[in-house]
Amino acid sequence: MKANIIGTGIMGSAVAQVIARDPRIEFTAVCDKIISRVEPLEQGFGIDGYKDYIEMLDEEKPDIVFIATPDWAHLDPVMACLERGIHVFVEKPLTTNVAEAKIITEKVAETGLKLQVSYNHRWLAPYHLTYKKIQSGAIGRPLMGYARKNNPITVPTQMLASWAKDSSPLWFQSSHDIDLMLWWFDDEPVEVLCSGVKSVLKAKYGWDTWDALQGQVRFKQGGVATFEAAWIYPEGHPSMPDSFMSVVGEHGHLLVDRKDEAVEMSSEDGFSWPRSLLNSQVYDRWIGAFPSSIASFIDAIEDDREPYVTARDGWRVTAVLDALHRAADSGGVVKLPSLAL
């Protein structure tokens, strides 16, 4: 299958490393509106580079496109691909707007094309094991969930410096946690509460964005899950992110503490827990949840089955995130819209 990439920043470049080694893929082109980001991939992989994705889609006629543009810029490239009969792997969150997520979900249903949202944490073995234990009835029905994902201040101020002020720690950090919790609870979210603080980033950088938010989702069958996200830990904090999730069921609990990622290191540069589980180069291949999720998407096309993370899953996470931010802005409780097609 012929594959292209739209958006060759951090994630798009990581996708390139993975698909270039997949024997089922003929990797032919990449596109970024900043052409200097295309050139290293063009030369490194001997492929074509474009500034305009419409031109790339019409020239290259790919079967699959991987989209890794910023959070708010997913709708147009996704629709351009679906309208041309191209399968789509899109970075999370599906969109930052609920109406846009619904448009995409309807288009996928209408065309029968495959679309997978990059909620790759489902391919991390401890999270997958948690799902299987809950499904097997080991802890009974999930009643209460908690998910924390906090980062050092360098994430908004250095890594995402050009767009963090238009985002929030919940949008950037908690979408995986929300996807996991909706999957584990296997229930429909119906309403949310949320509140947060704007202090440090406002004082230091003049950004009108949240430093930290805590939100709670209530499910149809009565379960509740709390999500916490902050991105103002001090610069020297050893983990990125400090991630912790738990579920309490009717007769048991499960807990995944991922902040140290199993490796501890101290050196003259300081103390750290280096990341290794999501995407690591091991000899000449990239392994971990991220490459596994890409391989699974290619399997879905080959086997003509639904991807394990669908457009509808992406729509649900966006609806929850949107409701949480509306609740934080208004200081109240927000009902979710109907999520039926």
Ligand X SMILES: NC(=O)c1ccc[n+]([C@@H]2O[C@H](COP(=O)([O-])OP(=O)(O)OC[C@H]3O[C@@H](n4cnc5c(N)ncnc54)[C@H](O)[C@@H]3O)[C@@H](O)[C@H]2O)c1
Q: How far apart are CA 25 and CA 19, in angstroms?
A: 7
Give the containing element (helix H, strand E) for 226. Answer: strand 224-233
CB of 25 to ligand X, least distance (A): 19
Q: What minimum distance in Å lies between the beta carbon of 310 and ligand X? A: 16
The smaller minimum CB distance to ligand X, of residues 225 and 317, is found at 317
- The Cα–Cα gap between 210 and 196 comes to 7
| H or E stretch covering 224 | strand 224-233
Pick 207 or 248: Cβ nearer ligand X = 207
Q: Quick one: 20 or 73, whose CB is closer to ligand X?
A: 73
Q: Which is nearer to ligand X, 91 or 211 (CB)?
A: 91
Q: Which is nearer to ligand X, 2 or 33 (CB)?
A: 33
Report in angstroms how near the CB of residue 4 gets to ligand X at its nearest: 11
Residue with token string 């003259």 = 268
CB of 260 to ligand X, least distance (A): 19
For residues 125 and 289, what is the distance between their CA atoms, to the nearest angstrom? Answer: 8
Amino acid found at 64: I
CA distances from 40 to 44, 46, 186, 268 (A): 6, 10, 43, 32
Footprint on this chain of ligand X (rule: CB under 6 A)? 6-12, 31-34, 37, 53, 68-71, 73, 91-92, 118, 120
- Of 16 and 193, the one with the shorter C-beta distance to ligand X is 16
Q: How far apart are CA 316 and CA 129, in angstroms?
A: 22
User: Least separation, in Å, of the C-beta of 238 and ligand X?
Assistant: 19
Q: Based on C-alpha coordinates, what's the Rg of the chain?
A: 20
Nearer to ligand X, 33 or 141 (CB): 33
Q: How far is CA 79 from CA 5, 56, 57, 129, 319, in A?
A: 15, 14, 12, 34, 19
Q: Give residue 295's identity as a one-letter amino acid code.
A: A
Nearest approach in angstroms of CB 138 to ligand X is 28
Shortest-Cβ-distance residue relative to ligand X? 9
Name the residue nearer to ligand X (CB basis): 31 or 225: 31
Secondary element (H or E) of residue 219: strand 212-219
Minimum CB–partner distance for residue 233 and ligand X (Å): 18
**Taking the CB of residue 257, how many other CB atoms lie within 10 A of it?**
12
Shortest CB 202 distance to ligand X, Å: 22
Q: Shortest gap between Cβ of 279 and ligand X (angstroms)?
A: 8
Q: Which is nearer to ligand X, 74 or 312 (CB)?
A: 74
- Identify the DSSP state of 338: P
Q: For the chain, percent helix, then strand, then coil, each to nearest 5?
A: 40, 25, 35
- Between the alpha carbon of residue 322 and those of residues 184, 215, 310, 313, the distances in Å are 20, 11, 19, 14
